[in-house]
Amino acid sequence: MATTATVHQTKWWSGGKSPFNLEYGKLMMWYFLMSDAFTFGAFLISYGSIRFSQNFWPDPNVVFNAFPGAGHANLPLAFVSVMTFILIISSVTMVLAVHAGHKGDKAGVIKWLGWTIVGGLAFLSCQAWEWHHLITGEHAVLVDGKIDIIGQTMRVNPWGALANHEAVAAALQNTSHETLVNLAHQGNHALAHEQLSAMTDKQLISSINLEELHVRAKGPVAFGGYFFGITGFHGFHVLSGVVINIIMLTMTQKNVFQNRGHYLMIEKAGLYWHFVDLVWVFVFLCFYLI
Amino acid sequence: MQHPAFEEVTIHHHHADDESFHKKVRKTTILLSVITVIELAIGLSIYTIHKGEDPNELLVLMFKGMVCILTLAKAYYIVSVFMHLGDEIRNMIMTIVVPLMLFIWFIAAFIWDGNSYKNLRNTYDKHFKETTMPVKHGQKEEAKPAAPASGKE
Amino acid sequence: MSEAINIHSGAAGHAVHHDDHGHGHPEQSFISKYIFSMDHKTIGKQFLITGIVWAIIGGLFSVLFRLQLGFPDQSFPILETFFGHWAKGGQIQPEFYYGLVTIHGTVLVFFVLTAGLSGTFANLLIPLQIGARDMASPFLNMLSYWFFFIASIIMLSSIFVHTGPASGGWTMYPPLSALRQAGDGQKIGTDLWLIAMALFIVSSLLGGLNYISTILNMRTKGMSMTRLPLPVWAMFFTAVLGVLSFPVLLSGAILLIFDRNLGTSFYLSDIVINGEILPNEGGSAILYQHLFWFLGHPEVYIILLPAMGMVSEILSVNARKPIFGYMAMLGSMFSIAVLAFLVWAHHMFVTGLNPFLGSVFVLLTLLIAVPSAIKVFNWLTTLWRGNIRFTPAALFAIGFVSLFISGGLTGIFLGNSTIDIHLHDTMFVVAHFHIVMGVASFFGMFAGVYHWFPKMFGRYLNNTLGYLHFWVTMVGAYLIFWPMHYQGLAGMPRRYLDKRGWVSFNQFADLDKMITVVSIIVFAVQLMFVFNFFYSIFKGRKVTSQNPWGANTLEWTTKIKPGHGNWDGEIPEVHRWPYDYAKDGREFIPQTEPVGANESKH
C-alpha cells in the first residue's frame, strides 16, 4: 500500500515534522492522559499497598450487593455491572461521534455526542445512588461488646469479619433499645416500628433470629477512604468529561468546527472520555472484583 | 478530511470507510462486553468460594489473577481501538507504551512494602495481630512468627 | 485556540506565518506584551524574576535560621522588631524556626530551582534552540506561569497567617503534618502549603506537556533529535520526569488533604496526641513517604538536569571545543532519567522499609553513579586542552562540575543503607544535597543567566561583579557545606534548633558560627548579583553583535532582541550538530551552515 510505503520511507525524526505524525494538540492530550494515569495509578497503588498491609479486607461481593428498587435482595455486583456497561456504551457512542467528526457530519456528531453525555450523566446518577446507599446503609456491627448500627463512611467501616453467635448473643444484652428495635425490624417487617418500640429489650432480643442476623466486626477504616476517594476522583473526571462534551456539543451546534474545517477538538475530547472509561476498568477491577 | 492547519502532520490519516469501521467497533463492543461478563462470573465464583466452609485460597488467587489479565485485555482494546492508538505509527505507540513500564516497579515496590509492613506489625504488634487477624473456621492456627529476639534494647 | 494553531503551523512547516502575526498586531498593549504575554521569551523572564524574588525570600530564611544555629545564646533585638512574637526577646522561637526551615526548603526546591530554573530556561531556550516560533501552545504556556504565580501568592500568604506557615519540613511527612492539634504550623499554614503545591503541580504539568510536545513536534527542518543542543535534551528529560512524577505527589497531597480535613485514615494509625486517642486506624505513614519520594527523587533530577544541560553547552562554547561524547551525554541523561524513577526509597532506609526491598534500592541507587561519572568525565575532557574563555558563565559552569563531583561522591555514602542508617537525618545529608542539588543547580542557573542574558535583554551583565559573585559564592559554598560533613559524621542531627544540650557537639560551636557568618556574606553577594541583574537590564553594556559568544546554536541567528516569533523571515534550516568548534581550522561553524564537500567528519 502506498501509505505503508511512505510511513517506512519518511525520516520521522529529521525535524520539520511531527515524528508521530500527530498535531501537537493531540500529542499533548496523550501525554496529559499519561500523567493522569500516574495520578490514578498512585491512588490505586496506594490502595493496594494499604490493602496488603492489612490482615483482613472486606469481600466486595458482600459490600456491593444492592440494586435500586430491589430492597434487601442479595445481588452481588449486579449494580456495578450496569454502571460498567453504561460507561462502555458511552465510550462506543463517543467513538461514533469522533467518526462522524472525521466525515464532517455535523448532525452525526451532535447525535452521538448527545448520547455520550446522557451516558455520562446516567453513570454519575448511578454513582450518586451507590454512595448514598453505602453511607446511609444500616449494618449491625459489634463494637466494644455491644451492637451498633453503622453505614459505610470514610471514618468507619462496617464490613469486618463475621462475629460468632456467642459474642453476638452476649453483645445484645448491652445494646441500646433503639438499636434492638432496628435489628428486630430488619428481621421482621410484619411489625411496625412503633409496635416494636413498645416492647421490652428482652422481648426484642428473643424476637431476633441470630441465624439471620449478620453481625460483623468493624472492618479496616481505610476501605471507605479509598473507595470514596478514588471513585469520587473518577466521578469528578466523569463530571468534567460531561462538561467538556457539553462544551463540544454547543461548539458543534454553533458551527465552530464546521468553519474551522476539522473536528479535531472532538477527537481530543474523545480521548479524554475513553480515558475515563479506561480508568473505570481498573477501578472496577480493584474495588469490585478482587 | 485534510488538516491544512497542521503542517507538522506528514501523512494524513485515512479513515476507515463506514462499513469496516462499524464492523470493528461492533466487534470491540461485543468483545468488551463478553470480557466484562466473564469477569463478573469470576467475581461471583470468588464469592461462592468465600462462602464455602473451607475457602481454597489458591483457587481464589488464581481467579483474581485471571481477572487482572482480563482487565488488561479490556484496557488494550479500549486504548488500541477506541482511542485509535493502534492506528497511529509505531513511534507514537512506543512513546505511550514504554513509559507505562514504570508502573511495574511502582506497583511491585509499593505492594511489596505494604505486605512487609503487615508482616512487621504481626510480628511486633501483638494487639494489631489479635484484633485484625480473622479467625478461620477449621483451619489450624498458623505457625507463629518468630518472637523478636529478646535482648538488650 | 485557532489563532495559536495558525501561528504554529508556521513553526513546523516554515510557512512565513510570522508576518501575519508579528505585523498583524503591531501595537501590543503593555498588558499583553509584558503581563499576560504568550511569548515564550517573556514567560521565561517572568519565571526568572519570580524565581529571583523567591530565592531572596528563601535565602533570607536560611540566614535567619543560621543565626539561631550559629549563635544560639545571642539575642538579636532587630528580629523582634520585624517578627514580633516569632522572635521573642530577639531569639528565634521553635515554631518560627521550623516554619523557616520548611518554607526555605519548599521554596528553593520547587519555586526557585524547579520553576525558576527549568521554567526560565526551558521557556527561553527550547523554541530558540530547536528553531520554533514559540511553544506548541503559547496559551497553556502562559497559564503555566500564572498557575505558578497563584501558587506563589498562596505560599507567600501562608507566611502571614496568624498561626504561621507550614512547619512540617519540606517533605511534609504525616502524621505531624496531618494533625492540626500537633502545633501551630500544622493549622491553616499546612492547608495553604498543600493548596499552593497542588497549584504548583498544575503549573509544572502545563509547562512540561508543552516542553515535550514542542521539542518533539516543532523542531525546524534538519533539526533531528541527535542535532539538538544538550540543554534542549536536558529540558526534555526534565519535562518527562515532571509529567510522570508530579501527578504522584498530587495524589499523595490529595490523600493528605483528606486525612487533615475529612477524617480519613490513609496515613494515620494508632495515634495518641495531647492525651487524646485518635480513632484513625489502618493507615501507613510510610505510604506517604513512598508517594512523596516517588516524586521527590525525580525532583532532584528535575532540578539538576537543566543545569547539567546548560553547563554542557556553556563549557563547550567557552572551551571552544566540541562537547566530548555527545551521545554518551544523551545516554547518561536518559539512564539518569530512567533510574530517577526507580530509586525513590533510598530516602527511606530508616522508616521501617523492608530491608530486603531496601537492598534492591541500594543497588539501583548506586547504578546512578555510572551515568553521573560519565557526564563528569565528559565535562572534564571537554575542558581538557581547550582554549578556555573564563567568562563568568564559564566559571560558574566549571564550578558546577566541581560541586557536582564533591556532592555526588557523598551520595555514594548515603546510597548505602548500612552507612545511611548512621548518617540519616544528620548534617551530612544537609551537606550532601545542598552541594549536589542546591548549590550545583544554582551554579548551573547562574551560568545560564550570565550566558543568555544578552539574548534575554540585549545587554551584558557586569563582568567584574560577575567574577566577584562567582569567587565568593564558590569559596563560600564550600566553607558553608564542607564542615557539615564532619558534623554529620559525628552524629549531629539536622532540623534541631538548639544542640547545646549535647556536650559532644559543643566542639562544633565555633564551626557553626563560622558557617553562619559565611552564609551571611554569601547571601549578601547574591543580593549584589540581583542588583547586577536588574541594573544591567536597563544600564548594562549593549550587545552589538548577533552572536557575542561565537556559538553555533540557533538562538544566536535571531536578531539581538527578537520579537514574538523569533525569526523575521523563514526559520533557518539546520545542517549539522551544534558542537562544531575548532574544526577544519575554523573557530566555530553555526548549525545553519551546510556541510561542505571537503569537511572532515566529527
Say if B150 falls within a structural domain: no
Inter-chain contact B113–C240, Cβ cutoff 8 Å? Answer: no
Mean pLDDT lowest among A209-223, B85-99, C15-29, C167-181: C15-29
Residue A89 belongs to what H/E stretch? helix A78-102
Question: Residues A131-147: pLDDT tens digits?
Answer: 999 999 888 898 888 88
Residue-range domain boundaries for chain C: 2-8+36-268+281-588
**Best CATH choice for the domain A24-136+222-289 from the list 3.20.20.70, 1.10.10.10, 3.90.550.10, 1.20.120.80:** 1.20.120.80
Rounded to a whole number, what is the distance in Å from the CA of B33 to chain C's nearest CA? 31
Say if B43 falls within a structural domain: yes
d(CA A113, CA A115): 5
The answer, yes or no, to whether residue B31 has pLDDT greater than 90, is yes
Inter-chain contact C265–A221, Cβ cutoff 8 Å? Answer: yes
Percent of chain C clearing pLDDT 90 (strictly above): 88
Domain extent for B125: 102-133
Which residue does chain B place closest to C289, by CA atoms?
B110
The answer, yes or no, to whether residue C20 has pLDDT greater than 80, is no
SS3 A233: helix
pLDDT confidence tier of residue C337, bands split at 50, 70 and 90: very high
Mean pLDDT (whole number) for C418-434: 95
Rounded to a whole number, what is the distance in Å from the CA of A42 to chain C's nearest CA? 5
d(CA A290, CA B43): 7
Q: Is there a contact between C266 and C258 (Cβ–Cβ < 8 Å)? A: yes
Contact residues, chain C, for B7 at CB < 8 Å? 9-10, 12-13, 15
Within chain A, which residues score under 50 in pLDDT?
1-2
Q: Choose from C353, C365, C570, C571 for mutation: most chain B CBs within 10 A.
A: C353
Say if B24 falls within a structural domain: yes
Question: Residues C150-198: pLDDT tens digits?
Answer: 999 999 999 999 999 999 999 999 999 999 999 999 999 999 999 999 9
pLDDT confidence tier of residue C7, bands split at 50, 70 and 90: very low
Query: In terms of Cα–Cα distance, which of A208, A212, A223 is closest to A160?
Result: A223
Inter-chain contact B113–C353, Cβ cutoff 8 Å? Answer: yes
User: Cα-flanking dihedrals φ and ψ of residue C124, to 5°?
Assistant: -70, -50
SS3 A16: coil
| Number of neighbours of residue C538 by Cβ within 10 angstroms | 8
| DSSP-derived secondary structure letter, C459 | B
3-state helix, strand and coil shares in percent for chain A, rounded to the nearest 5: 65, 5, 30
pLDDT confidence tier of residue C26, bands split at 50, 70 and 90: low
Smallest Cβ–Cβ distance between A61 and the set B6, B46, B134 belongs to: B46
Query: In terms of Cα–Cα distance, which of A82, A216, A71, A196 is closest to A147?
Result: A216
The x, y and z cell numbers of residue A260, run together, are 474551522
Query: In terms of Cα–Cα distance, which of B121, A157, A57 is closest to C263?
Result: A157
CATH topology of domain C2-8+36-268+281-588: Cytochrome C Oxidase; Chain A (1.20.210)
Contact residues, chain B, for C10 at CB < 8 Å? 7
Rounded to a whole number, what is the distance in Å from the CA of C369 to chain B's nearest CA? 20
Count of domains forming chain B = 2
The burial class, CB within 10 Å (0-12 / 13-18 / 19+), for B60 is middle
Smallest Cβ–Cβ distance between B78 and the set A89, A261, A274 belongs to: A274
Strands A216-217 and A139-143: parallel
Report CA-CA distances (Å) from C405 to A25, B26, C301, C344, C496: 41, 60, 15, 21, 28
Smallest Cβ–Cβ distance between B1 and the set A92, A104, A278 belongs to: A104
Do residues B70 and B86 share a domain?
yes
User: Cα-flanking dihedrals φ and ψ of residue C272, to 5°?
Assistant: -120, 125
Which long-range contacts (C-beta less than 8 Å, at least 24 apart) are formed by B145-150?
B145/B119, B147/B123, B148/B123, B148/B124
Report CA-CA distances (Å) from A195 to A183, C137, C373: 14, 70, 83
Q: Tell me the three-class secondary structure of C221-289, residue by residue.
A: CCCCHHHCCHHHHHHHHHHHHHHHHHHHHHHHHHHHHHHHHCCCCCCCCCCEECCEECCCCCCCHHHHH
Place of cell 472492618: A219
If one compares C328 and B11, the residue with the highest pLDDT of the two is C328
Interface chains of chain A (3 or more CB pairs under 8 Å):
B, C
Q: Is there a contact between C307 and C373 (Cβ–Cβ < 8 Å)? A: no
SS3 B126: helix
The x, y and z cell numbers of residue C354, run together, are 523492608
Number of residues in chain C: 602
Cβ–Cβ contact B110 with A under 8 A: yes
| DSSP-derived secondary structure letter, B79 | I
Question: Residues C40-78: pLDDT tens digits?
Answer: 999 999 999 999 999 999 999 999 999 999 999 999 999
Do residues B110 and B89 share a domain?
no
Compute the radius of gyration of chain C from its Cα atoms: 24
Do residues B96 and B111 share a domain?
no
Cβ–Cβ contact C257 with B under 8 A: no
Q: Is there a contact between A158 and A229 (Cβ–Cβ < 8 Å)? A: no
Mean pLDDT (whole number) for C29-39: 86
- Per-residue confidence (pLDDT) for residue B5, from 0 to 100: 59
Q: Is there a contact between A91 and A72 (Cβ–Cβ < 8 Å)? A: no
Q: Is there a contact between A77 and B40 (Cβ–Cβ < 8 Å)? A: yes
Question: Residues C439-487: pLDDT tens digits?
Answer: 999 999 999 999 999 999 999 999 999 999 999 999 999 999 999 999 9
Cβ–Cβ contact C290 with B under 8 A: yes
Q: Choose from A285, A286, A287, A288 for mutation: most chain B CBs within 10 A.
A: A285
Mean pLDDT (whole number) for B32-39: 94
Do residues B4 and B78 share a domain?
yes
Smallest Cβ–Cβ distance between C225 and the set A13, A32, A38 belongs to: A13
Inter-chain contact B118–A282, Cβ cutoff 8 Å? Answer: no
Contact residues, chain C, for A39 at CB < 8 Å? 247-248, 250-251
| Average of per-residue pLDDT values in chain B | 83
Beta strands in C1-120 (DSSP E): none
Inter-chain contact C282–A54, Cβ cutoff 8 Å? Answer: yes
- Per-residue confidence (pLDDT) for residue C3, from 0 to 100: 40
Which residue does chain C place closest to A32, by CA atoms?
C209
Cβ–Cβ contact B126 with A under 8 A: no
Report CA-CA distances (Å) from A164 to A144, A176, A216, B136, B139: 14, 20, 9, 11, 16
The x, y and z cell numbers of residue A106, run together, are 455535523
Q: Is there a contact between C179 and C271 (Cβ–Cβ < 8 Å)? A: yes
Q: How many CA atoms lie within 13 A of C473 on its CB side?
A: 32
Say if B151 falls within a structural domain: no
- Per-residue confidence (pLDDT) for residue C317, from 0 to 100: 96
CA angle A32, A36, A39 (to 5 degrees): 150
Cβ–Cβ contact B41 with A under 8 A: no
pLDDT confidence tier of residue C18, bands split at 50, 70 and 90: very low
d(CA C574, CA A206): 90
The residues, ordered by sequence, that sit 6+ positions from C370 with a Cβ below 8 Å of its Cβ are C332, C335
Which residue does chain A place closest to C262, by CA atoms?
A154
Cβ–Cβ contact B21 with A under 8 A: yes
| Average of per-residue pLDDT values in chain C | 92
Place of cell 456497561: A85
Inter-chain contact A154–C251, Cβ cutoff 8 Å? Answer: no
Do residues B94 and B115 share a domain?
no
Cβ–Cβ contact C251 with B under 8 A: no
**Alpha-helix residue ranges (DSSP H) falling in C416-508:** 417-423, 427-433, 440-457, 463-489
Question: Residues C261-278: pLDDT tens digits?
Answer: 998 999 998 899 999 999
Smallest Cβ–Cβ distance between C345 and the set B4, B8, B109 belongs to: B109
d(CA B60, CA A162): 19
Contact residues, chain C, for B111 at CB < 8 Å? none
Cβ–Cβ contact C341 with B under 8 A: yes
Inter-chain contact C286–B6, Cβ cutoff 8 Å? Answer: no
Cβ–Cβ contact B68 with A under 8 A: yes
Inter-chain contact C223–A54, Cβ cutoff 8 Å? Answer: no
The answer, yes or no, to whether residue B145 has pLDDT greater than 70, is no
- Cβ pairs bridging A and B (under 8 Å): 179
Whether a cis peptide bond, with omega within 30° of 0, leads into C127 is no
For residue A162, the cross-strand partners are A216
Which residue does chain C place closest to B4, by CA atoms?
C9
d(CA C14, CA C17): 8
Cβ–Cβ contact B59 with A under 8 A: no
Strands C272-273 and C276-277: antiparallel
Q: Is there a contact between C336 and C301 (Cβ–Cβ < 8 Å)? A: yes
| Interface confidence: ipTM more than 0.90 | yes
Rounded to a whole number, what is the distance in Å from the CA of B82 to chain A's nearest CA? 6
If one compares A187 and C239, the residue with the highest pLDDT of the two is C239
